Chain A
Amino acid sequence: MQPNLALQNHRDDTVLTPTFVPGPNDTRWTPPALDAALQVRIHDLMVKARATEEMLIRMMRTGHGYFWIGGPGEEAYGTALGMLVHKGHGPAYDYLHLHYRSSAVVLAMGSEPIDLLRQMRSTVTDPYSKGRNFVNHFAIKPWNIVPVTPTIETQYLMAPGTALMQRRHGGFGCSIVTGGDAGSAEGDFYSAMNWSTRPGGELPVLMLIAQNNYGISTAASTVQNTPNLHQRADGFRIRNARVDGNDPIASWHALVDAMDYVRNERKPFVLQVNCSRLNGHSSSSGAARHDEPDCVQLYEKRLLDDGLATQTELKLVWDKWNALLSDALKTVVAEPMPDREHVLQHVWYRGPAGN
C-alpha cells in the first residue's frame, strides 16, 4: 500500500458569497444587491487575487517554481464571478469549468492563497494536483470546480454535461465555463453552443470569453474577423453581451443579468469580458508588466473618488494580503516535494461510486 497523504484543501467553506441562497419554495433566483460594503469587499478580494499572482511571479523569478501562468488583469470580472457563484457540491450548485487565468474566481470563492503557492512550487501538499500540474490548475470537488485542463477550450465540451445533470435536477444551478478569445476559435466553443441549444433540451450554461486580444503572441485581429466574439452566439440564437471586464461593477451587473437569465430561464448565455493581460502570456514570455489598463488601480481610484475608501484603508488591504502571502511562502518552501512514492498514486480510483 502506498501511503496516501491526505491533502488538505485550504478553503473557507463559510465564506458564502453574497448571493441569494435559494430556499425550497423559491421559484426564481433573485440577484443580490450591490451595496457599499460589497463594493469594498470586491476590492479586498481583487487585491487578494492580485497580490497572490504577484507572489506567484516572484516565486517563479526566485526559483520557487518552474512555470507561471495566471490571471493578472482578470481580477475585476473574476472576483465578481467568484462572488456570484452559487457555491456547493452537486447539481443543485454551480459547476465551474475554468481556465488557467481564474485565480480571482477561486480566491473570491474562499480559497486560501497558500494553496496556489503550493501548486506554484509543486509541493506534495498542493491540494489541486499534488505538484503535478501548472499553477492555477484547480480541482475543488466540494465546490464543483472540475479539474482545470491544460488543453485550451476542452472545458467548453464538458459544461453541457454538468448542465444536463443540472437541468434534470432542477433548481438554479448553472454551469459556468471560462476561456480566452483565441481559444474560442476551437470547434469546442461551437460544440458547446450547439449542445446547449438542442431544441427542447436547452441547457443552463454561462459561457465567458475573456477577450484580451492575444493568444500567446498572435494578435486576435489577425486570426478572427471580429473582436466581438460573443456575437458568434447569434448564429445559435443564444443571448449574448459584452462588458468591460476591467470594471468589477459593470462586470457584476453584466454577470447578474446573464445569471438571472441562465438560472431562471435554464438557457445558455455568452458573455464576453474585455480585459487586460497584464503580465503577458506566461513566464515563457518573461511575465513582465505590460502597459495596459490595470483593473485594480482603476477600481481603487473609483473607490477613492466615490468616497468609499481612503488611501490608508486601501493600503491596509494590500499590507494584509502581502503579509499573509509572505508567511504562506515561508510555510510552503519548507514543505516536501513529490518523490518516487507519489508517482503511482491516483492512477486508478478505488473508492465508492459517485462524484
Chain B
Amino acid sequence: MANLAQAIRMALHYGETHLGVTDVFGQDVGAPLGGVFTCSQGLKTAWNAPLDERGIIGTALGIAYAGGKPVAEIQFCDYIYNCIDLLKLCGNAHWSSAGEYHVPIVVMTPVGAGIHGSMYHSHSFESIASHIQGWTIVMPSNAKDAYGLMLSAIADPNPVLFMAPKGLMRAKGDELIPGEPADEKTLHQMIDAPVGDRSQWQPDWPALQDYRVPFSQARIVRPGNGLTVVSYGRQLVQCAAVALELAADGIDAEVLDLRTLYPWDEASVFASVRKTGKLLVVNEDTEVTNFGEHVMRRVTDACFYDLVAPPQLLAGLDVPGVGLAWGYEKHSVPQPEHIAQAMRTLAAARP
C-alpha cells in the first residue's frame, strides 16, 4: 500500500493532469529532491521557490488571481507563522472584494510532532489556522484520505489548508487508492525517485482515478457506545489503537476522525455524543485556546442535556516548544498511555 507521502504525490499528479493544477511549488519541492518528504517527486509542474515563505504564499495568490491553480508548500508548518497576514488576505479576498475575486489555492504543510523534530519541526498549527477565516482546513490520518482530501482541496475554488501529519508520512495505508497497483514494490519502482543521480529519472504513473473525500465529513473509525473520541491526524491513529486495546477491558469508545477541521462535521460529532454522553477530544496542539476547546464548546451548547460527564480535552502541554530529548516530547505531547488514561477516566466517570 502507498504511504501518505506517496498518496499526496499521486494526488498532485492527478491534480496536474486532470484538475488543472498549474504549479506545485515551495522550498525543495522541484527536482532533484521533490520535497523534503518526497511528496512532489516527478511532478511536471513542481518547481523550487526561493527560501521565502511570504513570497511563496504571495506568489500563489498572484497565480490564483491570474487564473492558475497553485499548490504551494510551506516546508514545515513551523515556518508558516510569518505568513499569517497573507493567509488572512487569501481567506478574506472573496469577502472583502464583495465576491469579485476568489482564491483557488491549496497550501500544504507538514504538521505535528512524532519524528524527534525538536522545537522547529514539531509545531501544530490547527488552532491558529482555525482563526484564519475563509479557509477550509483538512488533515488526513491515512494515505487514502490524504489522496481523497487533496483532490477535494484542488477542486475547491476557495483556499484550502492541507496539513499532513509529519509522523505519518511513511505510514502505509490499509486500503488501496483507486488506480494504485496492489503490490507496493511495483508502486515504489514506478513513482519513487532513485537514490543518487536522478537527472534521467521519469516516474511511471499508475492509472489513477478520481477519488474524493468530501469536506466536512468525519469518519467513524471505530463504532462504540461508551464514549466519543474525536481526533485527527497522527493522534487519531493513536486513539484508534488505544481504543482497540481498551475494548478488552470493556471500554467501548467510538472514535471519530474529523478529517476536515473547518468547517467540521458537527452533525456526526453531535450524533455520537448524544449516543455516548461523553466526549474526549485529542490533539497535540498546545492546550490553551486549542481548537479542541471550540469543539467542546459547540458540543456543550448542542448536547448539554445528553452529556453525563464534563467534556475532556487531551492536548499538548502549554510550553514554549517540543524539546528534542524524548523526555520532553513524551511528557508534553499526548502519547498512547496518556490517551489510555484519559479514556479510562472518562469511561469511569459517573454523574
| Residues in chain A within 8 A of chain B (CB atoms) | 4, 7, 90-91, 95, 97, 126-130, 132-133, 137, 139-141, 144, 146-147, 149, 151, 154, 156-166, 175, 187-188, 191-192, 194-195, 198, 345-355
Residues in chain B near residue A95, CB distance under 8 A: 62, 65-66
Which of B65, B93, B96, B134 is close to A161, meaning CB atoms less than 8 Å apart?
B65
B99–A165 CB distance below 8 A: no
Which of A140, A345, A353 is close to B20, meaning CB atoms less than 8 Å apart?
A353
Residues in chain B near residue A198, CB distance under 8 A: 50
Q: List 24 A-B contacts (CB under 8 A).
A: A128-B98, A129-B97, A130-B99, A132-B98, A139-B100, A147-B97, A154-B58, A157-B86, A158-B61, A161-B65, A164-B59, A164-B62, A164-B66, A165-B67, A165-B68, A191-B50, A195-B59, A345-B95, A345-B98, A345-B99, A353-B20, A353-B104, A354-B104, A355-B67
Residue B9 is within 8 A (CB to CB) of chain A in the complex: no
How many Å from the CB of A309 to the closest CB on chain B? 37
Closest to B82 in A: A187
- Apart from A133-B96, A164-B62: 14 A-B pairs, beta carbons within 8 A: A95-B65, A139-B100, A147-B89, A149-B89, A158-B62, A163-B62, A192-B55, A195-B52, A195-B55, A345-B98, A347-B133, A347-B134, A348-B94, A349-B99
Closest to B134 in A: A347
How many Å from the CB of B304 to the closest CB on chain A? 26
What is the 8 Å Cβ interface bit string for chain B, positions 83-125, against chain A (1 contact, 0 not)? 0011001000111111111101000000000000000000000
Residue B191 is within 8 A (CB to CB) of chain A in the complex: no
Residue B236 is within 8 A (CB to CB) of chain A in the complex: no
Q: Kindly state the separation between the CA atoms of A346 and B102 in the bound complex, as whole angstroms.
A: 9
Closest to B99 in A: A346
A146–B52 CB distance below 8 A: no
A160–B62 CB distance below 8 A: yes
Residue B261 is within 8 A (CB to CB) of chain A in the complex: no
Residue B296 is within 8 A (CB to CB) of chain A in the complex: no
Question: What is the number of contacts between chain A and chain B, taking CB atoms within 8 Å?
Answer: 156
Residues in chain B near residue A161, CB distance under 8 A: 58-66, 68, 70
Residues in chain A near residue B85, CB distance under 8 A: 151, 154
A346–B94 CB distance below 8 A: yes
Which of B52, B65, B99, B157 is close to A158, meaning CB atoms less than 8 Å apart?
B65
Q: Kindly state the separation between the CA atoms of A175 and B252 in the bound complex, as whole angstroms.
A: 60
Q: Kindly state the separation between the CA atoms of A151 and B58 in the bound complex, as whole angstroms.
A: 12
What is the 8 Å Cβ interface bit string for chain B, positions 36-74, against chain A (1 contact, 0 not)? 000000000000001010110111111111111110000
Residue B268 is within 8 A (CB to CB) of chain A in the complex: no
How many Å from the CB of B64 to the closest CB on chain A? 6
What is the 8 Å Cβ interface bit string for chain B, positions 115-142, against chain A (1 contact, 0 not)? 0000000000000000001100000000
B52–A175 CB distance below 8 A: no
Q: Kindly state the separation between the CA atoms of A188 and B155 in the bound complex, as whole angstroms.
A: 30
Q: A139-B101, A147-B97, A165-B66 are in contact. Are A353 and B157 (CB under 8 A)?
A: yes
Residues in chain B near residue A137, CB distance under 8 A: 96
How many Å from the CB of B116 to the closest CB on chain A? 32
Residue B225 is within 8 A (CB to CB) of chain A in the complex: no
A349–B158 CB distance below 8 A: yes
Residues in chain B near residue A91, CB distance under 8 A: 66-67
Residues in chain B near residue A90, CB distance under 8 A: 66-67
B102–A349 CB distance below 8 A: yes
Q: A95-B66, A158-B62 are in contact. Are A129 and B94 (CB under 8 A)?
A: no
How many Å from the CB of B134 to the closest CB on chain A? 7
B96–A129 CB distance below 8 A: yes
Residues in chain B near residue A187, CB distance under 8 A: 54
B89–A194 CB distance below 8 A: no
Which 6 interchain pairs have the tightest Cβ spacing? A161-B62, A157-B58, A139-B97, A349-B102, A165-B66, A130-B98
Q: Kindly state the separation between the CA atoms of A349 and B60 in the bound complex, as whole angstroms.
A: 18
Residues in chain B near residue A127, CB distance under 8 A: 98, 100
How many Å from the CB of A26 to the closest CB on chain B? 22
Q: Kindly state the separation between the CA atoms of A165 and B69 in the bound complex, as whole angstroms.
A: 11
A355–B104 CB distance below 8 A: yes
B101–A355 CB distance below 8 A: yes
Closest to A355 in B: B67
Closest to B66 in A: A165
